[in-house]
Amino acid sequence: MLPNLPALLADLVRLPSVNPMGRTDLPADILYEARVTAYLEHRLRDLGCEFRRQPVQPGRDNLVAVYDPPTPPPFTVVFEAHQDTVPVDAMTVEPFGARVEGGRLYGRGACDVKAGGAVMLAAFARLLKEKPAGSARVILAFTVDEEHTFLGVQELVKGGFTADYAVVAEPTLLNIVRAHKGVVRWHIETPGRACHSSRPEQGVNAIYRMGKLLAGIAEYADQLRHRPADPVLGPRTLSVGRITGGVSANTVPDICRIDIDRRLVTGEKPDEVIADLHTFLTAYPGVDFPFAALPGKLACPPLSPANSGDLVARLGAVIDAVAGRHEVHVVPYGTDASTITGAGIPAVVFGPGDIAQAHTKDEWIDLAQLEPAAEILYRFALGR
């Protein structure tokens, strides 16, 4: 039986799969992808297809299923979607309620990217049911940890499978993303010396030190935006997204840490961009104290459009046949597509939903986009 798409999406949204993204203050009962993985495994087992779990970290598994058509396939395509979501702080809708109102389904992950995963599963299920002659071989992959360090897709490509194309689920309003920036994230720490706040002169305030660094980082980020832009991906950007430090108001803090997000353009290397900021800060006025750059794991490289021309044309023709028109975009955010492309498989990004709703306080998806998205993926696998 083919899945009812709104019901399938509602099931997925009701299953928390929050990526803590390095935080330790979130409730354990909403963390990680295990609930979604178990649900998807059950659905795949009901379909009677070949599939396997691919361990990534303890309790965090990719799921990989394969459809082999009854006749020799013209090509092999990967349909890939991630299982995790960002945290739910400050949401104004029930994060896991999957409320439907006015043609929208609300909840964390509804847009990013459980809707994309649902339509991929629906297209895959239809192929298994109908077994159309002349269709492609399809590898359906549900990965973990896309929102933080991209460990799932990195493990996926280590498996050594081959394919001619890959379509990666993200909200694109049924358009095609052919290129995007990469990202590297890391931490900077300033040390201090703790003491009682009634005698602050006896200590060294790590937060005050970080304040001086932040002034330098803000100036550096402004200069970075004004460097010559990449002709495809646009300007380089840097953002400080989180700051932590201290233990109480009456203790001078002995450590302060910030989390940095740096978007990469073609040709930039993570170690080099980290070193560039470090060099700038070392020479910045007032920075006469030690600080440490602690590299995190590279999230993803930039997505190059160099080898995806045929894929863009094929998928675009199918979108036009179903939806009437499409656009091809370059975007500033990162996706699993660049890691897959780095493994030698041309990849693009496609899916229902609007990126403007991703990660928001009232995240939602327009349910009217689900059926067309599933039809597009099904027809793409048919090669027509």
Ramachandran region, residue 315 (left: φ > 0; alpha: ψ -120 to 50; beta: rest) = alpha
C-alpha–C-alpha distance, residues 281 and 308, integer Å: 39
- Looking at domain 182-300, which of 3.30.70.20, 3.40.50.620, 3.30.70.100, 3.30.70.360 is its CATH number? 3.30.70.360
Tell me, what's the pLDDT at 161?
82
DSSP string, 144-168: S-TTTT-HHHHHHHHT----SEEEE
What's the whole-number mean pLDDT along residues 126-142? 96
Tell me, what's the pLDDT at 94?
98
* pLDDT tens-digit series, residues 201-229: 999 999 999 999 999 999 999 999 999 99
Non-local (6+) Cβ contacts of 223 within 8 A are none
C-alpha–C-alpha distance, residues 144 and 33, integer Å: 7
What's the whole-number mean pLDDT along residues 227-255? 96
Q: Which pLDDT band holds residue 159 (cuts at 50, 70, 90)?
A: confident
DSSP string, 99-120: -EETTEEESTTIIIIIHHHHHH
Strands in 255-264's sheet, in edge-to-edge order, are 237-245, 255-264, 182-191, 292-300
What percent of the chain clears pLDDT 90, i.e. is strictly above it? 92
Q: In a 3-state reduction of DSSP, which class is residue 335?
A: coil
Tell me, what's the pLDDT at 160?
81
C-alpha–C-alpha distance, residues 44 and 342, integer Å: 28
C-alpha–C-alpha distance, residues 259 and 297, integer Å: 12
For residue 358, give both structure tokens. Answer: 């991703």
What's the whole-number mean pLDDT along residues 122-151? 96
* pLDDT tens-digit series, residues 375-384: 999 999 998 7
The class (CATH top level) of 5-180+302-382 is: alpha beta
Q: Which pLDDT band holds residue 174 (cuts at 50, 70, 90)?
A: very high
C-alpha–C-alpha distance, residues 276 and 253, integer Å: 28
Average predicted confidence (pLDDT) for the chain: 95
What's the whole-number mean pLDDT along residues 121-131? 97
User: What does DSSP say about strands 50-57 and 182-191: parallel, antiparallel, or unpaired?
Assistant: unpaired
Tell me, what's the pLDDT at 250?
97
DSSP for residue 16: -
Tell me, what's the pLDDT at 384?
72
Query: Which amino acid belongs to residue 93?
Result: V
The residue extents of the domains of the chain are 5-180+302-382, 182-300
- Does pLDDT of 297 surpass 70? no
What's the whole-number mean pLDDT along residues 256-284? 94
Tell me, what's the pLDDT at 296?
63
C-alpha–C-alpha distance, residues 274 and 206, integer Å: 21
* pLDDT tens-digit series, residues 313-357: 999 999 999 999 999 999 999 999 999 999 999 999 999 999 999
Q: Which pLDDT band holds residue 308 (cuts at 50, 70, 90)?
A: very high
Q: Indicate if 182-300 has the same CATH topology as 5-180+302-382.
A: no
C-alpha–C-alpha distance, residues 337 and 79, integer Å: 10
What's the whole-number mean pLDDT along residues 193-197? 97
* pLDDT tens-digit series, residues 25-44: 999 999 999 999 999 999 99
DSSP string, 279-298: HHHHTSTT--S--EEEEEEE
Q: Evaluate whether 157 touches 56 at the Cβ level (below 8 Å).
A: no
What's the whole-number mean pLDDT along residues 93-121? 98
- Does pLDDT of 1 surpass 60? no
E strand residue ranges, the chain: 50-57, 60-67, 76-82, 100-101, 104-106, 137-143, 165-169, 176-180, 182-191, 195-196, 237-245, 251-252, 255-264, 292-300, 328-331, 347-350, 364-366
